[in-house]
Amino acid sequence: MTRHYLDHASTSPLRPAALDALTSALGLVADPGRIHQEALTARHAVEVARQQVADLLGARSREVVFTSGATESIAMACHGAARRDSEGRRTRSVLAAVEHSAVRHCADREGPTTVVGVDRAGRVDPDELLTAVGEDTAIVHLQWGNHEVGTCHDLEPVIAACRERDVLVHVDAAQAVGRVPVDFRALGADLLSVSAHKFGGPPGVGALLVRRGLRLEPLLLGGDQERARRAGLENVPAVVGFGAACEALGGGVLADEEAESRRLTDRLAGGTAALDGIERYGDPDRRLPHLVCVGITDIEPQAVLLGLDRAGVAAHSGSACASEGLEPSPVLEAMGVDAHRSLRLSVGWNTTDADVDAAIDALPGILAGLRALR
């Protein structure tokens, strides 16, 4: 049976350029921090990759700190922000209710938090978010676009206001990078987290962009790697693959992929909208290009996912109950929609119309069959 992968928002298959670069770099076994020839070869490969990442993201190469992925990058941002005020007066985190669990849990661990609600489309009101910023606020977290429903947030007014108040802003861009243009310098944020595997890079590598001049206490202590901002031997092959995935999006490729993703997800949205008991979640206009999330009335997501899998389609439920845990989705709960029954379909660099057709063709029979069992 031909398989159709529509779970790119979870992780995207390796791009050929990233696979080739990673495979070639497996022979770079030396520690990049040494001064012999083998080490300097590895150091050169790391710094080339750092520049490739910086070029894609509109950043200076020295602003790129390599990590194991967005989860670690988020933890670094939370940890450093909570300790930036030497007198301990600014320790509070302010965040939208739809932030990723990595942001919510790390912020809770580091100090007091204020969570700001969203509307039914998952949008946070910038004015309401800024009203929550007080004298004790260390950092504001606001994701570029939501990982479950795709809604994008209005970042510019929040970043501008926080800069005036000397409050850090961290942008979780794990779902945005490699999907839409990201210009760190123009954005003006202090911190931005990225995962390579979300857009066709290797798993186990990512970056935290740290605005030039900003000094934060490191999360991982030990050696002086990454200019003493993140201890531990660099994962050279993964870093090289990450850089190659970024470089592969140059020359207009990113714009072409964004347009194609929007076309494919528009087809998915239209195909699912024609079915009974389906409600689309998220902002249909101001959204990430690669994912569609819908609610399905009265049918548990596991059964739908299993039905799609038997039809050769890989998908995901927006609610956590279909994956790592048994709790309803905090994102969907915050939006005031059914947090137990949802379906997320997401496309990527190698998605075809045949993949979309497979999902659209399979869903009516799956839903009808499940409803007949009630």
Q: How many alpha carbons lie under 13 Å from residue 233 in its C-beta half-sphere?
A: 11
Q: Are 229 and 65 in contact (CB under 8 A)?
A: yes
Q: Are 182 and 173 in contact (CB under 8 A)?
A: yes
Tokens of 141: 């977290």
Residue 13 CA to residue 17 CA, distance in Å, equals: 12
Let me know the angle formed at the C-alpha of 95 by 90 and 98, rounded to the nearest 5 degrees: 165
Q: Which of 163, 143, 162 is nearest to 153 (CA)?
A: 143
Q: Which helix (H) or strand (E) holds 169?
A: strand 168-172
Q: Which of 182, 196, 179, 103 is nearest to 143 (CA)?
A: 103
Neighbour tally for 297: CB within 10 Å? 12
From 162, 246, 293, 321, the catalytic residue? 321
106 is catalytic: no
Q: Which of 122, 184, 135, 134 is nearest to 159 (CA)?
A: 184
Residue 47 CA to residue 125 CA, distance in Å, equals: 39
Q: Are 248 and 18 in contact (CB under 8 A)?
A: yes
Residue 371 CA to residue 374 CA, distance in Å, equals: 6
Q: What are phi and psi of 179, to 5 degrees?
A: -115, -40
The residue written with tokens 């520049």 in the block is: 51
For 253, residues 6+ apart whose C-beta sits below 8 A from its C-beta are none
Q: Are 184 and 57 in contact (CB under 8 A)?
A: yes
Residue numbers annotated as active site = 321
